[in-house]
Each structure stands twice: as C-alpha cells, then as structure tokens.
Amino acid sequence: MEMQLEQTERGVWVFVEHRKGEIAGVVLELLNEGRRLAKQLGEPLACILLGSSVVHLSSDLMEYGADEVYVADVPEFDTYRDDLYADALEYLIETYRPKIVLIGGTSNGRSLAPRVATKLKTGLTADCTEFDLDDEGNLLQTRPAFGGNLMATIRCPKHRPQMATVRPKVFTEAKRETGRAGKEILVELPELNPWMEILEVVDEDAVGPNLAEADIVVAGGRGVGGPENFQLVEELAKALGGAVAASRAVVDAGWINYSHQVGQTGRTVAPKLYVACGISGAIQHLVGMQSAETIVAINQDPDAPIFSIATYGLVGDVKEIIPALIKAIKS
Amino acid sequence: MHIVVCIKQVPDPSQARIDRETGLVIREGVDKIINPYDLYALEESLRLKEAHDGQVTALSMGPPSAEDVLKDAVAMGVDHGVLLSGRDFAGADTLATSYALALAVQKLESVDLIICGKQAADGDTAQVGPGLAANLDRPHVTEVRKIRHIEEDKMVVERLTDTGYEVIRLSLPAVITVVKEINEPRIPGLRGMMRAKKAQIPAWDAEYIGADPQRLGLKGSPTRVWRTFEPTRHGQGEMLRGTAGEQAVLLWEKLRGRL
Ligand SMILES: Cc1cc2nc3c(=O)[nH]c(=O)nc-3n(C[C@H](O)[C@H](O)[C@H](O)COP(=O)(O)OP(=O)(O)OC[C@H]3O[C@@H](n4cnc5c(N)ncnc54)[C@H](O)[C@@H]3O)c2cc1C
Ligand SMILES: Nc1ncnc2c1ncn2[C@@H]1O[C@H](COP(=O)(O)O)[C@@H](O)[C@H]1O
C-alpha cells in the first residue's frame, strides 16, 4: 500500500495526556523534543488536548513550547478511554494532517497509539528513545528491541503521519517560558460512538512515587530475605526520593504486588538511577531495566550476573549495606 | 462462547545474542518458544471456556515452525489451532500482522472475545492487540489483570494502569490483552500432550483468508528497519571495596554528584 506523498502534511503533534487536571511529565518531555524536530523542519509544533474542563491547560502548553493547541473539551472525555479518544484523534489527524505524531509511552499512550495508527493505516514505532531527521525529512526513530539487547532505527518513508510512542524519562522536560503565546483552536468533533464505560478509576496506594515516571528506582530481590526486610528497600527508596520495584521472585512470593514487578513479564523502566538490592540479574529481569542511566548492584555473590551491567557494584549483605547507605544519605 | 487466543512464536529471550559484525539478532541455534505473555492469554481462555461452556481457537501467524506453539496450545486444552503461514506474510510489522490476524478471525465462526498477550518478547511493541481491534472495528482493553464477569454481550474487566487500575465494562465482541497477574498458567498433562501429537493444525494462506497481498508482510508494512546496532554499554562497571559501611559511604559520594 504505497500511497503517493503529496507532502501536504505539516507540523509535529504532541498528544497531551493529563491526570486530575495536571499535564503528565512525559508531555513536557515530548514538547522539548518536538520543538527541536519542528524547528529543524521549519514547521509548527502543536498539541492535541482532549478532556473535560481542560481548556485552561492550553496556555500552559503554549508556555512550554506549543505553537498551536487543538482543544476538544467535552464531558465524555472526563476520564481517559480508548474508544472515544482514539476516534477523536483519528478524526483530528485526518482533518489537519500533521507530519509527525508523538505520544507518551505510558499505559494509556501504548493503548491509544496503535488503535489510531491502524485506523489511519500508517506506521507506529513503539517506545522510542531517540529521534532524528534524514535528508528527505523522514523521521528516524530509534528504539530498543529484544529487551534492550539491540537498538533499531525505524523509518516510515511512504506513509503519513509518522507516529511514535516515546519512552518516559528519556528526554528532558521543556522549560517554561512565561508569557509565551500561541494559537488555540477549539475543534468540533463528529458524533462519537462509545463502546465502553469506565466504571471506576482506582489509584492504588503505591509505595512511594509512581514507578513508570520515577527518576530513581530502588528494587529488591529474593536476596533481601523476606517480607519484613523488604521494608529496608522501601526505606532506601524513601531516603532517595525514588519508587519501589521488585524482581519476579519477590512478587511471586507475595512480598509486594505485581504492579511493582520489573522485567520481561512486568514493567520496563529507564530511570536515571536503578538500585538493585539482592537481585541476581536474570536476563528476564535485566530486559526491564538495563536502559537505566546508572545502575547500582548490591549482592553478596561477587559472581552474580547483575554486576556485569552495574555502574557501581557493592559486594555484601543488603541487611548491612542498605542501613549504612540510608545513614550516609541522611548525614 | 467462542474465544480466539493469538499466540506468537518468539526466539527465547534468555538466549538473545547479537552478531557484533552485522548488528543483527542471531536466530540460528536459538530455541523458539511461545511468547511468555501468551501463556496467560491461553490460560484465561481455557478458564472462560470451562466457566461458560465455550470453545477456544488458538491462532498464530508465522513460519511453519510456529505449528509447535499451536500444538503446545492444544496440549494445554484449546479446541483448535490455526496457522497463518506463507510467503506473503513474511516481514510483517504490527500493521500488516494485525490486518492478517483480523481476516483470520473473521473467517472463524461468531467469535465473542479475542485474547492477546500484553506484548511479544521479540519486538515488545504491544501494538497487535489494539491494532487487531481497530481492524475488526471492535473495542479493546489492554493490560487486563482480571476478568470480573461476563454478561450477555458485555464484560467487566480490571485494567492495570500506571497509577493503579480501572474497572471497565465493554461490549463484546472485543479484544483484550492480558498481564501476568491475571492467572497461573497450567502445565499440560499427559492426555493433552497425546492430543497435541495427533492434532491437525490447518495452515491458511493469504488467498484463503481473502487478503489483499499488498497489505500483507513486508509490502504491507509502513515501517522499515533502517539500521540496527548494539546499545552502548555502561562500560566496565566499578566494583567498590571495603566493609559494608565503607562501600555505602563511597557509593553515596559517587552518586551525590550525579543526582
Ligand atoms: C518467562 C519468564 C519471565 C520472567 N519474567 C521476569 C520478570 O519480569 N522480572 C523478573 O525479575 N524476573 C522474571 N523472571 C524470573 C527470572 O528468571 C529470575 O528467576 C528472577 O528475576 C530472580 O529474582 P531474584 O534476582 O530476586 O532472585 P534470585 O535469583 O534468587 O537472586 C537473589 C540474589 O540475591 C543475592 N543475595 C542473597 N542473600 C543476600 C543478602 N543477604 N545480601 C545481598 N545479596 C543477597 C543472591 O546472591 C542472589 O544473586 C522470568 C522468568 C521466566 C522464565
Ligand atoms: N504473528 C503473530 N501471531 C499471533 N499472534 C500475534 C502475532 N504477533 C503478535 N501477536 C499477539 O499480539 C500480542 C502483542 O504482540 P506485539 O504487538 O508484537 O508486542 C502477542 O502477545 C500475541 O498475543
């Protein structure tokens, strides 16, 4: 299906995810990277804002770098929902024809983007960590594959828009420029066709900050010794201002719930700092965290595989090292 | 009720190696396994079948060797396996894959629910489930951690989110993708293994499912791998020395500057 490119497509779009009236961190990261691409193309940077009573966010988005903000403010968009959000985004893309669409690689973004890309019969690259433009202005989209063992650069040369989800925490957030203005476009949507009802949205008392968006992650493995000792991991996370994670062995043992599991059958995280306490470093765990910028491993076995990817390795008992580390941090 | 489970054969991720010269994944000599997440999809379909008196079809697109994962599925208890195979399908990205799977689902009789794994261990894209739903013009919910119940033409599920979970009621037919938390997959018993040995797995080609060859495989894939390379490693890490207390202090000195 090679369609003729008319090159009428213009602009870089950022999909605005928001929660409880606040713009998600990943959106500010996308605005920074989107700004850079838009500048290189000499085209505008626009935001797509879908929600209920969210119009006030559009001036914030302009201060963070958006030249244009397309707003659809309707009561049905009260909470994020795949069916209506996907229909609306598909409609807006078809109507206004952007060249590039960037969506945060959050749980919502990873659900929304493929539905929209499929409807538009265009390409979508998942969890990008780097962007560039080639000589013809095609987006070069780099992403980890095979659990981070391989990097691949993907192009979508013959279809528009070029769509990508972007891993949170990879790009730095855009800086706010107070007073920066842009154009607000209030859009009318065609009649929407609901397929689902959101009965309940539950925020679980996560231990510490949200794992997907944390700069610092402290993870505990079976080597921590037991559910009582797992508190040590939580205390260290608190001292560092980080989120708590765990290996599968710990989740299976029931010391902490599944939403904290990192690895092949859990979450993928790429924080600035990952501290692995009593984790052996099985490949299934490594694929979920090896893209972290700095990795600290604490393990009593000097031959544990985790040390092969660690920036700093500490050999010893977590029950001694963690309290000493907390003391050092607090002093 | 008729449930379709989509399963993919992937190279065993624990054996993943990269050819340093070409930067490509080495596929030779690497075991092929069923995508780990798809075991949860299979198990959930079997539980629904047992509770609601239904039938389950496992569907896979891949080379002839993918028959193995369909036999595994039969061993676990699914009623039928269907393999989508042929030269036209080769080199498909997620758009071409979900198009082909959607046509195969339409070829099956009155399907109520399609279950996929959260993502495949080779590409990690998590796109095929939502893409399949879009092709079928039906709703989807990703990262389902629990099916609460099924009512007539609707079901209620819990979806894992970045901050907790959501409870969603959606119309059937629908596509869901499932996470590990949803169940504990069963180990096939002897009877199942025997059944799998004898099972005939029909192979469907592009013509049989009525596909437009231009929308299949590499031809139907808008995305192209431009280059692959090995990620930059952290370099040789540094092992700290000393007692527990000394190492802790040393580490904090090093980290403090970076944070
Ligand atoms: C299909 C599949 C999917 C999987 N998915 C995942 C996944 O998503 N995430 C995941 O994590 N795993 C996953 N696994 C499991 C993975 O293979 C490992 O079994 C698991 O990661 C091991 O967890 P662990 O490192 O906590 O435990 P162990 O391997 O038991 O390691 C414990 C470590 O702690 C050290 N230790 C013990 N006592 C102390 C002490 N007092 N002080 C310091 N160190 C100590 C030991 O030396 C050892 O290295 C998966 C496996 C399979 C087959
Ligand atoms: N070739 C395939 N054949 C059957 N199912 C597939 C195939 N590719 C992907 N899937 C399904 O889609 C899910 C997500 O895959 P992916 O989008 O590739 O990460 C998998 O867990 C499978 O359930």
- Per-residue DSSP letters for B149-196? EEETTEEEEEEE-SSEEEEEEEESSEEEEE-GGG--PPPP-HHHHHHH
Residues of A with CB below 8 A from B258's CB?
272-273, 294
Q: Is the predicted pLDDT of residue B10 greater than 80, yes or no? A: yes
Look at ligand 2, atom 12, and give the residue with the nearest C-alpha.
B128
Q: Which of B23, B164, B222 is closest, CB to CB, to A202? A: B164
Per-residue pLDDT tens digits for B179-224? 999 999 999 999 999 999 999 999 999 999 999 999 999 999 999 9
Is-contact A147 B16, C-beta < 8 A? yes
Which segment, A313-327, B3-17, B21-35, is predicted with the most confidence on average? A313-327
pLDDT band at B23 (very low <50, low <70, confident <90, very high): low
Residues of B with CB below 8 A from A90's CB?
none
> Contact A115/B130, CB-based, under 8 Å?
yes
> Contact B230/A151, CB-based, under 8 Å?
yes
Mean pLDDT to the nearest integer, A227-249: 95
Per-residue pLDDT tens digits for B237-256? 899 999 999 999 999 999 98
Render the burial of A255-275: b for 16+ CB within 10 Å, e for the rest. bbebbbbbbbbbbbbbbebbb
Mean pLDDT to the nearest integer, A177-203: 95
Query: What is the per-residue pLDDT for A1?
Result: 43
Query: What is the per-residue pLDDT for A264?
Result: 83
Instruction: Return d(Cα B173, Cα A115) in angstroms, integer.
Output: 16
What value, to the nearest 5°, has the Cα angle with vertex A161 and ends A156 and A166? 75
CATH entry 3.40.50.620 includes domain B2-228: yes
Chosen from A196, A258, A280, A326 to mutate, greatest number of chain B CBs within 10 A: A196
Is B14 exposed, middle or buried (CB count within 10 Å of its CB: 0-12, 13-18, 19+)? middle
* pTM as predicted: 0.88
Per-residue pLDDT tens digits for A63-73? 999 999 999 99
> Contact A312/B18, CB-based, under 8 Å?
no
> Contact B228/A153, CB-based, under 8 Å?
yes
Query: What is the per-residue pLDDT for B51?
Result: 95
Atom of ligand 2 nearest to the CA of B118: 21
Amino acid at B150: I
Q: Is the predicted pLDDT of residue B12 greater than 50, yes or no? A: yes
Please give the ipTM for the structure prediction: 0.89
A107 and chain B: CB distance < 8 Å anywhere? Answer: yes
Mutate to test the pocket of ligand 2, among B3, B4, B6 (most ligand atoms within 8 A of CB): B6
Quote the percentage of chain A above a pLDDT of 70.
Answer: 97
Kindly list the protein residues whose Cβ atom lies closer than 6 A to any atom of ligand 1. A 221-223, 225, 247-250, 261-266, 278-280, 282, 284-285, 288, 298-301, 304, 317-319; B 36
Q: Is the predicted pLDDT of residue B236 greater than 50, yes or no? A: yes
Domains and CATH numbers, chain A: 12-186 (3.40.50.620), 216-330 (3.40.50.1220)
Residues of B with CB below 8 A from A151's CB?
228-231
> Contact A259/B126, CB-based, under 8 Å?
no
Per-residue pLDDT tens digits for A147-171? 777 789 999 999 999 999 998 888 8
Is the CA virtual torsion B169, B174, B177, B180 positive or negative? Answer: positive
CA nearest neighbour of A239 among A265, A267, A277, A205: A277
Instruction: Identify the residue with better confidence: B56 or A3.
Output: B56
Q: Is the predicted pLDDT of residue A246 greater than 50, yes or no? A: yes
Query: What is the per-residue pLDDT for A2?
Result: 45
**Residue A220 Cα to ligand 1 middle (Å):** 9
Chosen from B143, B226, B229, B238 to mutate, greatest number of chain A CBs within 10 A: B226
pLDDT band at A196 (very low <50, low <70, confident <90, very high): very high
Q: Is the predicted pLDDT of residue B15 greater than 80, yes or no? A: no
If DSSP codes are grouped into helix, strand and coil, which group holds residue B15? Answer: helix
Residues of A with CB below 8 A from B243's CB?
316
Average pLDDT, chain B: 93
Query: What is the per-residue pLDDT for B192?
Result: 97
For residue B176, the tally of other CB atoms under 10 A from its CB is 25
> Contact B248/A325, CB-based, under 8 Å?
yes
Mean pLDDT to the nearest integer, A128-154: 89
Q: Is the predicted pLDDT of residue B24 greater than 70, yes or no? A: no
Q: Is the predicted pLDDT of residue B16 greater than 80, yes or no? A: no
> Contact B124/A119, CB-based, under 8 Å?
no
Is the CA virtual torsion A175, A179, A182, A188 positive or negative? Answer: positive
Look at ligand 2, atom 4, and give the residue with the nearest C-alpha.
B60
Average pLDDT, chain A: 93
Q: Is the predicted pLDDT of residue A116 greater than 60, yes or no? A: yes
pLDDT band at A206 (very low <50, low <70, confident <90, very high): low
Mutate to test the pocket of ligand 2, among B65, B97, B179 (most ligand atoms within 8 A of CB): B97
Tokens 């099985």 belong to residue: A282
Domain extents for chain B? 2-228
A97 and chain B: CB distance < 8 Å anywhere? Answer: no
Is-contact A128 A166, C-beta < 8 A? yes
Q: Is the predicted pLDDT of residue A3 greater than 70, yes or no? A: no
Render the burial of B97-126: b for 16+ CB within 10 Å, e for the rest. bbbbbbbbbeeeeebbbbbbbbbbbbbbbb
> Contact A123/B121, CB-based, under 8 Å?
no
Structural tokens at position B58: 């496992």
Q: Is the predicted pLDDT of residue B174 greater than 90, yes or no? A: yes
Mutate to test the pocket of ligand 1, among A274, A280, A307, A314 (most ligand atoms within 8 A of CB): A280
If DSSP codes are grouped into helix, strand and coil, which group holds residue B255? Answer: helix
Per-residue pLDDT tens digits for B101-137? 999 999 998 999 999 999 998 888 999 999 999 999 9
